Amino acid sequence: MEPSQRDSGENTVVHPDGRVDLGDPKSISGSRYFNEELAPVPVSKRTWSTYNYFALWMGMAHNIPSYALAASLIALGMNWVQALLTITIGNIVVLAPMLLNSHAGTKYGIPFPVFARAFYGVRGANLAALLRAFIACGWFGIQTWVGGEAVYIIVGRLAGPGWRDSAVIAGQHWTLWLSFAVFWAVQMLIIWRGMEAVRKFENWTAPLVSVGFLILLGYVLVKAGGLGPILSEPGKLGWGADFWKVFAPSLMAMIAFWSTLSLNMPDFTRFGGSQRKQVRGQIFGLPTTMTFIAIVAILTTSGGSVLYGEQIWDPAKLADRFDSPIVVVIALIALVLATISANLAANVVSPSYDFSNAFPKKITFALGGLITGVIGILIQPWRLYSDPSIYIFAWLGFYGGLLGAVAGVLVGGYWVVNRTKLHLKDLYTERGAYWFTGGWNWRAVVATIVGAVLAVGGAYDGPFPADGLIPFLKPLYDYNWVVGLVGAFVVYALLSRPVEKIEKKEETSERPGPSRIDPAAVDG
């Protein structure tokens, strides 16, 4: 094995496999933009294996909202083939930017908000990080609400009608509010113990999270008389114009479902034992686990339609219709564990880092998680989750377009402009390569705004005007995530290219040796 190489000018150590260590971590420890949670993970502690990432994805994908996402396509009128096709294409598409952004985490050991500093600026990264964080808070609230709902049904089956028929407060039974609060508190206790506690929880729950969904499917198959009646259940849309009108926004919703992770996967890949391990773990993990949960959800929902004459897209409510209390309790306990696993990994880890990035010396990882939990309640998740049209077209569609724009800046900046080369120390310091103008890179901000406006400016229906917020952009809204990503990617690359050439020319004349891109030299 080749020896590691030390770059004294960069204060880094480059290992034979390409991963980079900070040579002297103490050199940045006094910076206002540094804390222990945001610090680069030393290569010696980057130990996550292929299985760790596969288990992570199994834990994140197998949860009630993932099930509901697939089931809601049946509720919108698709047949099982159409729904499965939509979900499979969406997962393959979103995997590309996810792997592209994951590379930096494994190479440099940095979380998403620190990665974003390379393009938005040391201060400007808060724009991308907090946008991602607040959306994660919304998702945390939704996951916690459906998990609390499952707890409510489980206890109701065990405790009797008194629990289910309790007094109504603010539109919900007080016992449902209590279930929601308990579920919330359990998650806060786990995140308070730190990232290692999250990893351990993911590992031991991963093999169990499929059990609940298989029980639901098995029960429905038995009651419906096998797969025949389920697979013959026709969709309402056919393969004509009606289907294609629903397909495009539904595909964007499938992509948007994991668009948050396409940004912040460095939060996890920073612990990767190698690029190959994290890539293989994700390729094996995301498409396979989401396809599995989609098949289960589609068949179970279609079976529920055969049995009960209606499409029940919420698995907790579907399970509540079953005659056997034992089946209901076992299935929902497994679903509760699955939802905790997914919520911690997908919706608490990232905003914990993001809030910590905003105030590194004041907000720890644990405190960031608590902030996430509080905001997740304030956004009233029970309203977002109440209707499949709102869930897919308003919530998923709108934020998917916003995050697509951020993803376009990150992918364009890391792979096209910077060619995967970052100055690790400067990500944590003032007046370094990523200070730009006052800590902000206006190019990234402009690219994000342009991409976001193109993506969601034409938002229509639901809470939006029927003709769209900006009518002439309405046709683009059905392709929001792709429009946002491509638009921001192109704008950022175009704005950055001439500056890069100028900087290389200036810096080559200043000193011998390899050039070092310093945007501050141009922006002041």
Distance CA 310, CA 305 (A): 5
Q: Which residue has the higher pLDDT, 234 or 484?
A: 484
pLDDT the model gives residue 523: 38
Q: Is the per-residue pLDDT at 168 higher than 90? A: no
Mean of pLDDT values over 501-506: 40
Q: Is the per-residue pLDDT at 503 higher than 60? A: no
Residue type, 217: L
Q: Coil, strand, or helix at residue 232? A: coil
Taking only the tens place, the pLDDT of each residue in 372-407 is 888 888 877 777 666 655 655 566 678 888 889 999
Query: Which residues make Cβ contacts (< 8 Å) with residue 21, sequence separation at least 6?
Result: 4, 12, 13, 14, 15, 40, 42, 43, 109
Mean of pLDDT values over 22-40: 83
In this prediction, residue 508 has a pLDDT band, given cuts at 50, 70 and 90, of very low
Between the CA of residue 436 and those of 58, 356, 427, 518, what are the distances in Å?
40, 22, 12, 8
Distance CA 89, CA 15 (A): 37
pLDDT the model gives residue 385: 67
Lowest mean pLDDT among 95-99, 102-106, 398-402: 398-402
Q: Is the per-residue pLDDT at 218 higher than 80? A: yes
Q: Give the residue among 376, 407, 426 at the shortest CA–CA distance from 481.
A: 407
pLDDT the model gives residue 123: 94
Q: Give the other-Cβ count within 10 Å of 3's Cβ.
A: 7
Taking only the tens place, the pLDDT of each residue in 70-85 is 777 777 788 778 888 8
pLDDT the model gives residue 233: 60
Over the chain, what is the mean pLDDT? 80
- pTM, rounded to two decimals: 0.79
Taking only the tens place, the pLDDT of each residue in 421-461 is 999 999 999 888 999 999 999 999 999 999 999 999 998 87
Q: What are the backbone angles phi and psi of residue 272, rounded to the nearest 5°? A: -70, 135
Q: Which two tokens stand for residue 101?
A: 């952004």
Longest dimension (CA), the chain: 81
Tokens 């590309």 label which residue? 96
Could you write out the DSSP letters of every residue in 46-94?
Answer: --B-HHHHHHHHHHHHSSHHHHHHHHHHHHTT--HHHHHHHHHHHHHHH
pLDDT the model gives residue 390: 64
pLDDT the model gives residue 521: 35
Q: Is the per-residue pLDDT at 100 higher than 80? A: yes
Q: Which two tokens stand for residue 322?
A: 């079953």
Distance CA 157, CA 399 (A): 37
Distance of CA 115 to the CA centre of its chain: 16
Mean of pLDDT values over 406-429: 93
pLDDT the model gives residue 391: 57
In this prediction, residue 506 has a pLDDT band, given cuts at 50, 70 and 90, of very low
Q: Give the residue among 335, 339, 294 at the shortest CA–CA distance from 315.
A: 335
Distance CA 82, CA 101 (A): 30
pLDDT the model gives residue 489: 96
pLDDT the model gives residue 519: 40
Distance CA 107, CA 232 (A): 49
Between the CA of residue 446 and those of 270, 346, 405, what are the distances in Å?
28, 28, 10
pLDDT the model gives residue 442: 96
In this prediction, residue 140 has a pLDDT band, given cuts at 50, 70 and 90, of confident
Mean of pLDDT values over 275-283: 93
In this prediction, residue 109 has a pLDDT band, given cuts at 50, 70 and 90, of very high
- The answer to whether 320 touches 304, Cβ cutoff 8 Å, is no
pLDDT the model gives residue 29: 79
